């Protein structure tokens, strides 16, 4: 028996390769499927099944492309309905993979069709459970993402029954392999590890402690941040189907001349710059948006970019395909090419460029008492802001900056100083503001992490949101 967790940190997603006696199964594959095919080939195995734990909301699954490439059937739990061919498993159905087996456990709560897969070894002993978004390390899946006509409270009540009847009774030594790790928005407070055990989760997971159904429902439905806007889009794509990844890559891999690039921009294409933040700040195409590959790229792209417009890319040399693939992971399929020669070609052709000016935290602290028009704009989340912020700072969370009415509140005479936690999100924010014609701004280098080190900074813990 061979099990490999294939973890993609930038979207906190775990897919799984399971193999026995020359047969393999893939659970919750990403859209870029080459790694699974290569692993099976390397190990002289045949991919026999593709299992989905539910309709994912935070990424587009590779189930269709992988099935097309391998001929393996796509298995969903009871009640899943799609626009493509799948096999609906029944609760308790067993699938043999070589000398081991996977038993389907219908575990509704996160979504109605959510199912876990209990792996039994060659001796028919429970060895591991692949829990999807039903059970995480230290948390459970949020019940407000895909409820259909059901309320979050109704789904949370169903999840309580699921956990108490099907998860908690499992043996202590059963390994827990969830679909997500820390940083994912699919849970409220997922722990730092990417796998655990049933025994450990019974001891430490707040959701598995003895409690009434009413107490459980209250605990898992309160304190939830708003789901990213792209979640509903991705869930629908996973249910309805999508263009093959090779088709999307072919469209996005087109090298565009400066003339072609400018014409597409004039027609409304979004210019997306995926270079590193430090490089972007030194110079970029006027009107472009920055979302760098070094951060949680796909999540911020899904939260900030429109899905119905073409995207044209500025990348570091050799990063064109990676940019396209990582956009495709969260459902973007209108990438229309990249600028041949990148930013250097644009600059060398004397085209219009812009830049972002950095200031150090100590400079900001010295300027605050002397500039009545200075406004610190903190683009961290409300929870981050509430845990500590500069006195008189305004909180405008980055995910809300698609609302142009909020941006219109800034006055022409204000000197804006933008910061986040470490410097990635603030550069995204600066690019959004500049695209909207707001240029009187500075980026605070190092963000909140550096501001907290300033002994003269006046830090408060009240919450004032710009709205």
Predicted local distance difference test score (pLDDT) of residue 148? 66
- pLDDT the model gives residue 467: 40
Q: CB of 338 within 8 A of CB of 361? A: no
Does residue 465 sit in helix, strand or coil?
A: strand
CB 281 within 8 A of CB 355: yes
CA–CA distance, 237 with 259 (Å, rounded to integer): 34
Q: Which of 61, 47, 118 is nearest to 89 (CA)?
A: 118
- Tell me the H-state helices in 188-338: 198-204, 213-221, 230-240, 245-252, 258-266, 277-282, 297-304, 320-328
| Whole-Å CA distances, 252 to 63, 226, 310, 314, 326 | 21, 31, 10, 11, 11
Exposed/middle/buried for 11, CB within 10 Å: 0-12, 13-18, 19+?
Answer: buried
Sketch out the chain's domains with CATH numbers: 2-232 (3.60.15.10), 243-354 (3.40.250.10), 358-460 (3.40.250.10)
Segments in 22-95 forming alpha helices (H):
34-42, 63-70
Taking 50 as the pLDDT cut, the residues of the chain under it are 463-467
Looking at residue 25, the DSSP 8-state letter turns out to be E
Per-residue model confidence (pLDDT) at position 458:
86
Answer yes or no: are the C-beta atoms of 465 and 443 closer than 8 Å.
Answer: no
State the Cα–Cα distance between residues 104 and 119, nearest whole angstrom: 9
Cite the DSSP H helix spans in 58-131. 63-70
Q: Residue 149: what pLDDT?
A: 75
Answer yes or no: are the C-beta atoms of 398 and 300 closer than 8 Å.
yes
Q: Are 258 and 100 in contact (CB under 8 A)?
A: no
Tokens in use for 290?
């920055």
């Amino acid at each position: 028996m061979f099990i490999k967790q294939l973890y993609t940190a930038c979207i906190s997603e775990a897919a799984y390769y399971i193999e026995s006696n020359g047969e393999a199964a893939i659970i919750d594959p990403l859209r870029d499927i080459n790694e699974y095919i290569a692993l099976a080939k390397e190990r002289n195995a045949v991919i026999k099944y593709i299992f989905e734990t539910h309709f994912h909301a935070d990424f587009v699954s590779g189930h269709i492309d992988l099935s097309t490439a391998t001929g393996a059937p796509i298995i969903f739990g009871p009640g899943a309905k799609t626009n493509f061919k799948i096999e609906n498993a029944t609760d308790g159905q067993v699938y043999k993979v070589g000398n081991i087996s996977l038993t389907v456990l219908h575990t509704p709560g996160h979504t109605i069709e959510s199912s876990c897969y209990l792996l039994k070894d060659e001796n028919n002993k429970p060895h591991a459970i692949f829990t999807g978004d039903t059970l995480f390390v230290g948390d459970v899946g949020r019940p407000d993402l895909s409820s259909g006509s059901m309320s979050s409270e109704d789904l949370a009540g169903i999840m309580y029954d699921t956990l108490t009847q099907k998860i908690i009774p499992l043996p202590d030594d059963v390994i827990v392999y969830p679909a997500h790790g820390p940083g994912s928005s699919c849970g409220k407070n997922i722990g730092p590890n990417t796998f655990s055990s049933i025994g450990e989760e019974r001891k430490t997971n707040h959701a598995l402690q003895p409690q009434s159904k009413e107490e459980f429902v209250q605990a898992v439905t309160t304190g939830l941040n708003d789901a990213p806007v792209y979640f509903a889009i991705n869930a629908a794509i996973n249910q309805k189907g999508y263009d093959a990844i090779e088709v999307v890559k072919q469209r996005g891999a087109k090298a565009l001349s400066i003339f072609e690039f400018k014409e597409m921009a004039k027609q409304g294409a979004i210019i997306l710059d995926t270079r590193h933040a430090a490089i972007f700040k030194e110079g970029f195409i006027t009107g472009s948006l920055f979302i760098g590959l070094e951060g949680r790229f796909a999540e911020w792209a899904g939260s900030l970019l429109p899905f119905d417009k073409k995207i044209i890319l500025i990348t570091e040399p050799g990063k064109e395909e990676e940019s396209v693939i990582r956009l495709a992971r969260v459902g973007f399929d209108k990438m229309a090419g990249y600028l041949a020669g990148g930013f250097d070609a644009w600059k060398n052709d004397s085209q219009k460029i812009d830049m972002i000016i950095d200031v150090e935290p100590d400079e900001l602290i010295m300027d605050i008492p002397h500039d009545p028009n200075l406004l610190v704009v903190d683009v961290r989340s409300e929870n981050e802001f509430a845990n500590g912020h500069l006195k008189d700072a305004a909180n405008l969370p980055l995910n809300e900056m698609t609302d142009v009415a909020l941006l219109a509140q800034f006055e022409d005479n204000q000197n804006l100083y933008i910061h986040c936690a470490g410097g990635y999100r603030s550069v995204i924010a600066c690019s959004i503001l500049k695209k909207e014609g707001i240029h009187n701004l500075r980026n605070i280098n190092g963000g909140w992490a550096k501001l907290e080190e300033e002994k003269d900074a006046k830090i408060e813990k009240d919450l004032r949101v710009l709205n």
